[in-house]
Amino acid sequence: MKDFETWRCQQIKIINDGLDRVLRRLDLAREDLEPLGEAMRYSLLGGGKRLRPLLALAAAEAVGGKARTALPLALAVEMVHAYSLIHDDLPAMDDDDLRRGRPTCHKVFGEGTAILAGDALLTLAFASLTGPDPGRAGQATAWLARGAGAGGMVGGQVLDLALERRPGPVTAGEVRTMERLKTGALMAAALAGGACLAGGGPADLSRLWRLGLDLGLAFQIRDDLLNLSGDPALTGKAVGSDAARGKVTLPALLGPAAAEKEMKTLNRKIMRATQAFQDRGRRLAGLIAALDGRQG
């Protein structure tokens, strides 16, 4: 465990330094562009567990490569994640005031600048995903586009809005599908894309994609349980907001006990899947174990 924590802290520093470097290369020195740069920096560098980039780096190791080979994908996926959070928090979406223990981007910079900061981070993600091997970089870009786009995260967000507005009953199966897309697809893209840059074969990439979809569902169940009874100081978000908005979640549909049981079953399935990578997958297994017990 100590070895894993040392690795995790080292990689987070590398990730944060890389994100800062990418932002510094932007030409936003003009006075009228400064608010955009500030909003991007506020959202991208304002904390967070860096889970998705860590998944990319761990996946690179799991297929026998070096973590650093997956860094371009790791940085790109975190930029996509930051953009998605900015847009998720907007009044037209989840209408949240708090993110990572701070006011949300639109509360600080206004809705217009927040929307454009999200747009800029999304495009910057794909612009920065380059590497010494153009073939692998192109393939990794395709994995990221698959996870982030209409067939992945954005599609899941659309389903989320549709289920929230539906007057009739919603099934647990519909919620699982939505969560696998909304949360799981970007995790799947981080895993498959990171492994792709490290030279992973088709079977490994497919296995990691499926693992990511399951991981996203388990992660979201934990998030929804924490929204019911978590500590805002640990989660960095308001507690009870889902219930107040009548949001459809698995804990709301099944009850907290049944939802937690499903989450633990998923986590056991995911841990079994990591065994296919033997000792090379120990960082990945460590990440998943840490998520299983998280309180924020």
pLDDT digits (tens, 9 = 90+) for 30-52: 778 889 999 999 999 988 899 99
Give pLDDT, residue 233.
Answer: 56
Residues 100, 28, 143, 3: is their CA dihedral positive or negative?
A: negative
Give pLDDT, residue 232.
Answer: 60
- Among the listed residues 183, 158, 165, 163, the one whose alpha carbon sits nearest the alpha carbon of residue 173: 163
pLDDT digits (tens, 9 = 90+) for 93-108: 989 999 988 999 999 9
Give pLDDT, residue 109.
Answer: 96
User: Is the model's pLDDT at 234 over the cut of 60?
Assistant: no
Q: In CATH terms, is domain 2-292 a member of 3.90.1300.10?
A: no
Q: Where are the domains of the chain?
A: 2-292
pLDDT digits (tens, 9 = 90+) for 259-272: 999 999 999 999 99
pLDDT digits (tens, 9 = 90+) for 112-170: 999 999 999 999 999 988 766 778 999 999 999 999 999 999 999 999 999 988 888 99
Q: How far is CA 79 from CA 11, 133, 153, in A?
A: 16, 21, 14
Query: What CA–CA distance (Å, rounded) separates 109 from 117?
Result: 10
Q: What is the DSSP letter of 184?
A: I
Q: What is the pTM of this model?
A: 0.92
Structure confidence at residue 249 as a pLDDT band (50, 70, 90): very high
Structure confidence at residue 76 as a pLDDT band (50, 70, 90): very high
